[in-house]
Amino acid sequence: MFDEYAALLERLTYKYVGSKLTDLQINQFCKYGDLLLEWNQKLNLTRIIEPEDVILKHFIDSMVLSKYMYGVDFADLGTGAGFPGVPLKILRPELKVVLVDSLKKRLDFLDVVIETLSLTEIHTVHTRAEDFGRDSKYRGRFETVSSRAVARLPILLEYALPVLKINGLFLAAKGIQAENEMADSEKAIKILGGKCEGREHYNLGEGAEHRAIILIRKIKQTPAQYPRKAGIPSKKPIQ
């Protein structure tokens, strides 16, 4: 099905991301889209099911983050159906990607995507974000971390900053609520070792909501007690 929308994918990627996709990349995106809609019938992976909307609101919206990424070691926390991690990996094959989610069925889907698209140096991890951040294997490992539509910023910061390297960058994809969430996050940013480097606003055109990317740089080590045990950050955010 997505083969029919290859020209649209190519045009929108060039328009909003500034990249010209190869035939291989276009083919990978089309396979990804087909798998997403097929598996969505049994797993409810996304409410966005029209191919044009999938391309704009999932694929393009994920790839826009590539403009701000730092380094090649990348973690996608609460990846869901693979956004933004899989589109970024397709766009930038050199990335080393870890897709983190607490729901095994979603990761079963992503394992099929990875195999079908013949992607390398990308793997899934079944765990909660708090446990991921407390795992010595992942703590302080990544150069860029992102999370899309998972939780409010004060909570996300406690998930993301512990797994970043010093000078690593957290990209928080947000909507119109970005300014309010930033105001509520000043204490968490300071405690967790971060510094706000700004907010980038953009619009993907008619039919797409306003988008913002909040850029948080890690400037010092996160205290060992963070992240707190599973469930606590969402119940008692640092504020």
The CB-side HSE value for 12 (13 A sphere, CA atoms) comes to 25
- Is 83 annotated as belonging to a binding site? yes
Element (H, E) at 169: strand 164-174
* CA separation, residue 61 to residues 132, 141, 194 (Å): 25, 25, 25
Residue 108 sits at φ, ψ, to 5 deg, of -60, -45
- Is 78 annotated as belonging to a binding site? yes
- Is 148 annotated as belonging to a binding site? yes
Distance CA 232, CA 239 (A): 13
Distance CA 30, CA 111 (A): 17
Residue 179 sits at φ, ψ, to 5 deg, of -65, -45
Single-letter residue type at 229: K
Residue carrying the six token digits 């080590």: 221
Question: Nearest CA to 161 among 99, 81, 215, 95?
Answer: 215
User: Which residues are known binding-site members for S-adenosyl-L-methionine?
Assistant: 78, 83, 129-130, 148
User: Which residues are known binding-site members?
Assistant: 78, 83, 129-130, 148
